[in-house]
């Protein structure tokens, strides 16, 4: 059953919605469903170990992704810094260079899907064991 909620939209977002028609609710629901489906599919194209996913979550903890900067660039830079400066590859027992190569080879949509998964991982409303939380948000990207 549909739920009524209020949203604050940036001017550019409202303009983009208005360009797609008059029924804002229908447009927002449709477009968000498409976006979330796209993220799910993109995660299914990525091969990460559980430790690699946890390293990425650790590296991006507390960062806010601004859409003005390409997601793949942000993801690569944050993970690279976390490995070089903080030794997260040693903490999570991950081949840091291999992970950076995976990130380098990702598409922009795949990088956005990873960032979305990390944001969901750190959502405080869900308190779960880290491994369970990571598997829930990264889903098809995790390969055993």
| pLDDT (tens digit per residue) in 44-89 | 999 999 999 999 999 999 888 878 889 999 999 999 999 999 999 9
End-to-end CA distance of the chain: 37
Task: Quote the mean pLDDT of the chain.
Answer: 90
* pLDDT surpassing 80 at residue 129: no
Q: What percent of the chain has pLDDT above 70?
A: 94
Q: Where are the domains of the chain?
A: 9-144
What's the rounded mean pLDDT across residues 116-122? 91
- Determine the pLDDT at residue 7: 86
Is residue 121 a contact partner of residue 57, using CB atoms and an 8 Å limit?
yes
| Residue 113 to residue 20: CA distance in whole angstroms | 24
pLDDT of residue 126: 58
């Amino acid at each position: 059953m549909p739920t009524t909620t209020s949203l604050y939209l940036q001017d550019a977002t409202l303009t983009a919605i208005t360009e797609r028609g008059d029924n804002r609710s229908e447009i927002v629901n449709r477009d968000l469903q498409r976006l979330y489906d796209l993220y799910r599919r993109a995660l299914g194209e990525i091969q990460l170990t559980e430790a690699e996913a946890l390293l990425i979550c650790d590296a991006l903890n507390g960062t806010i992704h601004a859409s003005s900067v390409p997601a793949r660039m942000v993801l690569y830079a944050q993970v690279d810094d976390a490995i070089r400066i903080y030794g997260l590859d040693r903490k999570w027992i991950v081949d840091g260079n291999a992970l950076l190569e995976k990130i380098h080879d990702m598409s922009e949509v795949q990088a956005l899907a990873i960032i979305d998964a990390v944001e969901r991982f750190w959502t405080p409303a869900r308190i779960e064991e880290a491994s369970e939380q990571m598997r829930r948000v990264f889903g098809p990207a995790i390969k055993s």
